[in-house]
Amino acid sequence: MRITVTGQTGQVVRALLERAPAGVDVIALGRPVLDLAQPGTIAAALAGSRPDVIVNAAAYTAVDQAESEPDLAMRINGAGAGEVARAAASLGVPVIQLSTDYVFDGRLDRPYREDDPVAPGSAYGASKLAGERAVAAATPDHAILRTAWVYSPFGKNFVRTMLKLGETHGEVGVVADQIGCPTSALDIADAVFAVARNLREQPEQASLRGIFHMAGQGEASWADLAETIFTEAEALGRRPVRVRHIATADYPTPARRPGNSRLDCTKLGDHHGVTLPDWRQAAAACVRRLLAEETEKAS
Ligand SMILES: NC(=O)C1=CN([C@@H]2O[C@H](COP(=O)(O)OP(=O)(O)OC[C@H]3O[C@@H](n4cnc5c(N)ncnc54)[C@H](OP(=O)(O)O)[C@@H]3O)[C@@H](O)[C@H]2O)C=CC1
Ligand SMILES: Cc1cn([C@H]2C[C@H](O)[C@@H](COP(=O)(O)OP(=O)(O)O[C@H]3O[C@@H](C)C(=O)[C@@H](O)[C@H]3O)O2)c(=O)[nH]c1=O
Ligand SMILES: [Mg+2]
């Protein structure tokens, strides 16, 4: 099976390249050849890669910056995603669209299910919701996978930000009143391969298509995640870092983020047979790998 993924250096892209199982070829297509902001580049680039399944993992992901360039975020995450799905439809292959917990406003008092009402509070969330709708309108042969709080050994993410801060700070203030589901990009990659296989092997199976929540098991505040990161780092010889629990109001940002963005991932398990590992073990493993890579580089 040949899987073409959009983007080249993104966390999920790199995880897909690293985790490709035997018999699966992953082709990563990024700018300038495939530019989601340049709709004219998309269909030809995808067709040229002769995919069996297309994964749209590229996106405008700078949540705060999106507040000052909402049109660009919308073009990439909304229209761009739609164009990718139209290309998939014309090639007759399924498309897997990555989406986000930030499509919800966070006011619900339980984990979100796929059919709960969406109401994004940020430009990023609105643009990703537009992408979901554009994909669904373009082809029934899609799986929209909403994930959350993605970290990995690659690129820019919360785990790497915390480890960096810990080099210079003995204490870090982290919001404790936003709760969600931290998710490893490596686990996302394994899940995407399973979903891709299911879509390809069961072309007419409607229950495999539609929206699915796909995040690490369990739940955490950003402060919980930070504590897990620093505890693991300390066990590996890093200086201790204290996490000061703060409120969202004490950490002002341009974008509004959901207070509750926990995702109920039951549907993915029921239909695709996929459950992601618990966030604590996965986050600790990411810290171990990052610190080991650092030690290796230094020696
Ligand atoms: N990060 C997170 O916490 C979460 C992410 N998601 C979603 O998961 C998916 C993967 O996210 P993640 O791997 O973290 O993303 P990253 O921020 O790590 O990477 C973004 C990727 O998008 C590419 N990209 C950005 N703009 C364009 C463009 N105009 N044309 C082509 N490619 C572009 C980048 O390209 P280049 O390689 O050239 O830089 C990069 O490969 C996205 O759809 C995101 O919305 C969902 C929930 C949480
Ligand atoms: C760096 C830092 C952040 N924070 C807070 C800000 C924010 O509420 C929270 C996380 O900050 P980040 O900027 O890493 O998170 P953010 O960019 O909002 O992460 C989101 O990215 C997009 C792409 C998604 O789709 C979401 O699922 C989610 O992962 O932690 C602190 O409280 N203290 C700190 O020192
Ligand atoms: Mg961010």
The predicted model gives 203-232 an average pLDDT of 98
Distance, CA 162 to ligand 2 centroid (Å)?
11
Helices marked H in the chain: 11-19, 42-48, 70-74, 80-91, 123-138, 158-168, 185-201, 222-235, 266-272, 279-298
Q: How far apart are CA 85 and CA 54, in angstroms?
A: 8
Q: How far apart are CA 162 and CA 34, in angstroms?
A: 32
Amino acid at residue number 75: R
Would you call 112 a catalytic residue per the annotation? no
The predicted model gives 38-65 an average pLDDT of 98
Distance, CA 179 to ligand 1 centroid (Å)?
22
**What's the pLDDT score for residue 2?**
98
Specify whether the CB–CB gap between 217 and 276 falls below 8 A: yes
Whether 61 is in the pocket of ligand 1, judged by its Cβ within 6 Å, is yes
Query: What pTM did the predictor assign?
Result: 0.98
pLDDT band at 3 (very low <50, low <70, confident <90, very high): very high
Cα 154 to Cα 34, 146, 237, 267: the distances in Å are 21, 20, 22, 28
**What's the pLDDT score for residue 186?**
98
Helix%, strand%, coil% for the chain, nearest 5: 45, 20, 35
The predicted model gives 9-13 an average pLDDT of 98
**What's the pLDDT score for residue 52?**
98
Residue nearest to atom 34 of ligand 2 (CA): 174
User: In this predicted model, what pLDDT tens digit does every residue of 123-155 receive, in sequence order?
Assistant: 999 999 999 999 999 999 999 999 999 999 999
Q: Does residue 197 have a pLDDT over 90?
A: yes
Phi, psi of 170 (to 5 degrees): -90, -10
Tell me the pLDDT of the chain averaged across its residues. Answer: 98
- 44: which 2 tokens? 């030809």
Within 13 Å and on the Cβ side, how many CA atoms surround 194?
16
Q: How far apart are CA 129 and CA 74, in angstroms?
A: 9
Residues, CB-to-ion distance under 5 Å, ligand 3? 63
Distance, CA 208 to ligand 3 centroid (Å)?
30
Q: How far apart are CA 104 and CA 122, in angstroms?
A: 10
Domains belonging to the chain, first-starting first, are 2-150+184-216+262-277 (3.40.50.720)
Q: Does residue 201 have a pLDDT over 90?
A: yes
Considering the chain, what percentage of its residues have pLDDT values greater than 90?
98
Locate the ligand 1 atom nearest the alpha carbon of residue 12 and give its number.
13
User: In this predicted model, what pLDDT tens digit does every residue of 103-113 receive, in sequence order?
Assistant: 999 999 999 99
Whether 213 is in the pocket of ligand 2, judged by its Cβ within 6 Å, is no
**What's the pLDDT score for residue 75?**
98
Residue nearest to atom 15 of ligand 2 (CA): 158
Whether 60 is in the pocket of ligand 2, judged by its Cβ within 6 Å, is no
Q: Does residue 24 have a pLDDT over 90?
A: yes
Q: What is the ipTM of this complex?
A: 0.98
Q: Is 238 exposed, middle or buried (0-12, 13-18, 19+ CB in 10 A)?
A: middle
β-strand pairing of 2-6 with 210-213: unpaired
Cα 186 to Cα 6, 11, 60, 243: the distances in Å are 17, 9, 20, 26
User: In this predicted model, what pLDDT tens digit does every residue of 166-189 receive, in sequence order?
Assistant: 999 999 999 999 999 999 999 999
The predicted model gives 260-286 an average pLDDT of 98
Within 13 Å and on the Cβ side, how many CA atoms surround 106?
20
**What's the pLDDT score for residue 299?**
85
